Chain A
Amino acid sequence: MNPSVNMTIKIDGVEVPFEEGQTIMDAALAAEIYIPHLCHKPGLSPHGSCKLCTVDVNGRAVSACTMPAAEGQDVENNTPAINEVRKSITQMLFVEGNHLCPSCEKSGDCTLQAVAYHLDMLDGHYPQFYPRREIDASHPSLVIDRDRCILCELCVRASREVDGKDVFAISGRGTNCHLIVNSPTGKLGDSDIEVDDLAAHICPVGAILIKDHGYEVPIGRRTFDLHSVAETDLGEVKLSKTKHHDETDEADNKEGGVYGA
C-alpha cells in the first residue's frame, strides 16, 4: 500500500480527501458531508437502489453510495435541483406504499420520515398506489408490516453479512416487489431470526418492528426529535438499540454494545 499523494474529489466545491476503494459516499461521510440516503449503511455492502444519494458527477447522474471516488470528480450534491429530485424520489417511496405516519410506531425514529422532513416534503405529490400488502405476525417477538417496506434490503444484507443468516429476500418484479422470508413456510416465525439479530433492528422504516416494545420512547424524545438526519455519525446512533438516547449517561453505556461499531 502506498499512502502516497493526497487524493481528493470536489463535493459542492469543497475538496474532500479519499482513499483507494472508497465510494463518493464513504468520502463524504468521512468528511462529515451529508448525502441523503436510505438503502445505505456503513458496514454493509452498498446497494444503490433507493437512489436518494443520486449526485451529478461531472454532469452525469450516479449513486454516491456505489460510485468509486476518483480523482477529477466534481460532485454536485447539496443543490436545489438535486434536492428537488430527491424529494420526488422520496415522494415516490411514500405513494407506492401505505405510510400513515401519525399511527406508525416508528414515527420519529423513521429515516424515511426524517429524510422527507429534511427535503421539505409537505405532501405525497403523486397519486397514491394503495397497494395490498401482507402482514406477518407469526414470530413471537417480531412483526413484518409490508405496508411500510421501501425495499431498501438493509434487513436482507444485515442478515447475510452481519448475522450470518439468510432470513430475508426481495421477490416479485416492478411494483409487485415485496419482502419475503427464507423459511419453509415463508413465515418469519419459522425462520431462524432472533430478536438480537441486526436484521431485526435495522429497518429504517416501520416494516420490521419488535413486539411488546411499542411507544417506550415518547413522541418528542425520539431519534429525529433530537437529531437531524443529516448528522453523519447517525449510523452509530441508529445502530445502538437505544431507549432514551437523549440521556447522555445512558448513551455512554451503549457504546460498543451489541450494535456499536
Chain B
Amino acid sequence: MNMKRSSCEHLLHLLYAHQQQHRFISDEAINDIASELSLARAQVESVVEFYSFFSRTPRGRFDILFSNCTSCGDRSLMEKLCALIHVEQGVMRDDGLVSIGETSCIGMCDHGASALINGRSMTGMDEHRINAMAELVESGKVLIEWPDEWFEVNDHIRCTGLLLSESFESGSALKVVASEGVEPVLEKIKHSELRGRGGAGFSTAQKWKFCREAAGDAHYVICNADEGEPGTFKDRVLLTSYADSIFEGMTLCGRVIGAKQGFIYLRGEYRYLLERLEGRLEARRKAGLLGNRILGVEGFDFDIGIVMGAGAYICGEESALIESLEQKPGHPRIRPPFPVTHGYLGQPTVVNNVETLAAAAMIAAHEDHWFSGVGTEQSHGTKLLSVSGDCARPGIYEYPFGITVQQVLDDAGAERAQAVQVGGPAGRLVHPAHFDHQIAFEDVATGGSFMIYDHSRDILEVIHNFSNFFAHESCGFCTPCRVGTTLLKNGMDKVCSGHATAHDLDEMKRTALIVSRRSHCGLGVTAPNAIVDGLKHFPELFEARLLHKEMEPEFDLDASLAEARELSNRDDAEAHL
C-alpha cells in the first residue's frame, strides 16, 4: 500500500487545496474533483457543505476566522477589526481582499484571543495587534511576511506527571512487543487499567482485544487527533512535543491487533503541525520503527498516514471520524456494530485518543504498576488537563486522577472562580459548592478541558455560547439533536435578551431532556448539559433575567417589522412599535 499517494488524494485534502487556491469551491470544481476521484458529485457536494472550512461562495484573500470559544475567543476584537477595515462579518469585502468570520474553538485557549488566518493559527491577539493587522491587510502584504511571533504557539506545560516528566525512548515499547510477544503486552496494558482518555473511558486493553479477535480482511489503527472539545489543547501539546510516544502507541496497537495501516485524523485547526509530524514519521521510517520489517522483525509491518479534518466537531466521535476518513460527511454511524468489528472500510478498527496511545506506549515500556499504582480505585494513572480561562497560569497540568477541582484552581492561580466548566461544553458546569469534587471517571469525568470563569463573567453568556456551539456543530442527522439544539439556542437567545418567561425555562428543561435522551450520538446526549447544570446550580442567574410578565410574545414585535420597513423605505417613529 502506498500511503503517501492515498493520503494526498484524499477528498478533504483536494478540497482544502482548492479552497486555498481559489478561495471557494465552485460547482465546476465539485464536478471536476468528483470525476478526478471517481466519486458521486453529490458526495463531494455534501462534503463541501458539511465542513466549516470549505465555502461555496468566495472568501477574501485574507480569510480571518476568529475563535468564538470562551477561552480563546474575543468577539470584541473581531468587531473592532471589522469596523477598522469595513467588513461585515461573514461577507467578503467587495474588493475580495478580506473576509472575517467566526469558528469554533481552535485549541489555543492558553494563548489568549486567537484566530485562523488562511488556516494559520494566530495567537495572543489584542487591540494593538488588531490595529497592526488592519494595516497589513490593507497593504495586501502576504501572510508569510507577517511577524512570526504573531503565530507563536508554546506548550505551557505547568505540571508534569508520568507521561510528561519522562523522555520517551523511541522504539522502547516496540522492542518489548518484539521480544516478549503480543499477549504479554496486551496483558500489561490490561493490568495498567488504562481507560480511554477522550472522555468515554472505555478499557483500552478490552478495545484492542475485541479488535484483535474480530475477523476482517485488514485491521486499522486510528489516532483521534480531532481535539475539538472547546477548552481542550492537551493533544496539541502531545503532538508538538511527544509525537514519538503517540506514533509508538499506534504501532504497538497495530502489532497487537494485526493492523498494517494507521491513520492520524488531525483536526484542520492544527494544520500548522502537519509538516512537523510528517517529518517525525519520516524519521521513524528511517530508524526502522515504521514501514516494513519494523525492528527487523519479519511480518512486523506498519505505517501511518495523516488525514486532515476541515472544521467539524462531530468528527471527534469515532464513527463520524471514520466516515470522514472515508471521504464522507461526518455522520455518526448506527451502533452496534462498533468500530472494533466494523470500522474503517467496514473492517475491525481501533480508534484511540492521542493521550491514550501515548500512555499505552509508555505503559508497555515500563514495569507493571508504573501506571496502575497512581490515581483512584476506578481511575488509574494520570490525566492531562488543559486549563484555561480566568487564571494566572493557563496551560497543561498532568495530575494523578483524584485531584480536586479546587486544587487545580489553586495551582493555576485562579482566584474568585465563579464556576468551572469541566470537560468542555459537553461536560459539566461546576458550582463552587462542588469544587471539592475529584477529577475521575467516577466523579467529575473529563476529556481534559478545564475552563475557569471568575466573577467578571456572565455565566448566562457562557451557557449561551455553548448552546450556539452545539446548534452550529450538530451534524443534522437525527431529529432531536438537529432541531433540539436550535430550540435550545433560541431559548438561550431569549433568556439573554431579557425576553424569556418562567415558561421558557420549563420548555428548555423539557427540550433538554428529549435531546439528551433521544439523540443518535454523544453530541446530542451531552449538548444540553450546560443548560441543565446552569438551571440547576445557577437558577438565580436565569430568574434575574426573566421578564416578570404573564405572557410574552415569542418574538420581538418591533424587530419583526424590520423587513417591512426596509421594503417601504421607512424608518420614522411611526414605522416602529
Contacts and interface: CB of A to CB of B under 8 A. Distances in A.
Contacts of A129: 486
A51 B41 contact: no
B27 A51 contact: no
B483 A93 contact: yes
A184 B478 contact: no
Contact of B476 (A48, A51, A174, A182): A174
A92 B476 contact: no
B46 A51 contact: no
A126 to B, nearest CB: 6
Nearest to A160: B40
Interface string B84-122: 000000000000000000000000000000000000000
Interface in B465-521: 471-480, 482-487, 490, 510-511, 514, 517-520
B463 to A, nearest CB: 19
B50 A171 contact: yes
Which of B42, B329, B518 has the most A CB atoms < 10 Å from its CB? B42
Contacts of A176: 49, 476
Interface string A215-254: 0000000000000000000000000000000000000000
Contacts of A92: 479-480, 483-484, 487
A169 B50 CA distance: 12
Nearest to A86: B518
A172 B474 CA distance: 11
Given A129-B486, A175-B482, A180 B45 contact: yes
A49 B40 CA distance: 23
Contacts of A93: 479, 483
B46 A174 contact: no
B334 A127 contact: no
Given A46-B334, A51-B518, A85-B514, A169 B42 contact: yes
Chain B, interface SS category:
helix
B514 A88 contact: yes
B411 interface: no
A95 interface: yes
B482 A177 contact: yes
Given A93-B483, A174-B486, A49 B45 contact: no
Nearest to B555: A127
B336 interface: yes
A172 B46 CA distance: 6
B347 interface: no
B406 interface: no
A68 B335 CA distance: 10
A61 B517 contact: yes
B385 to A, nearest CB: 30
Contacts of B480: 51, 89, 92
A56 to B, nearest CB: 9
A50 B42 contact: no
Nearest to A152: B479
Given A92-B487, A127-B554, A180-B42, A174 B471 contact: yes
B203 interface: no
Interface residues of A, number: 41
B520 A49 contact: yes
Interface in A83-114: 85, 88-89, 92-93, 95-96
A49 B50 contact: no
Which of A61, A126, A173 has the most B CB atoms < 10 Å from its CB? A173
A213 B209 CA distance: 58
Contacts of B486: 96, 129, 174-175
B518 A61 contact: yes
A118 B153 CA distance: 58
Interface string B152-175: 000000000000000000000000
A174 B473 contact: yes
B40 A173 contact: no
A49 B514 contact: no
B28 to A, nearest CB: 10
B240 interface: no
A171 B482 CA distance: 13
B43 A174 contact: no
A190 to B, nearest CB: 10
A63 B41 CA distance: 31
Interface in B46-102: 46, 49-50
B520 A95 contact: no
A66 interface: yes
Contact of A166 (B40, B45, B475): B40
A54 interface: yes
A172 B482 CA distance: 12
A126 B471 CA distance: 16
B315 to A, nearest CB: 11
B31 interface: yes
Given A127-B490, A180-B45, A174 B479 contact: no
Interface string A158-193: 000000001011111111110011111110000000
Contacts of B334: 46-48, 63, 66
B105 to A, nearest CB: 17
A175 B476 contact: yes
B336 A68 contact: yes
A173 to B, nearest CB: 5
Given A66-B334, A175-B483, A186-B45, 14 more contacts: A51-B480, A92-B479, A95-B483, A127-B554, A170-B46, A174-B472, A176-B49, A180-B42, A181-B42, A182-B40, A182-B41, A182-B42, A183-B41, A186-B27
25 contacts: A46-B334, A48-B478, A49-B478, A49-B520, A50-B478, A51-B478, A51-B480, A51-B520, A52-B479, A85-B514, A88-B511, A89-B514, A96-B482, A96-B483, A126-B483, A127-B490, A171-B46, A171-B49, A173-B50, A174-B474, A174-B482, A175-B476, A176-B49, A183-B41, A185-B27
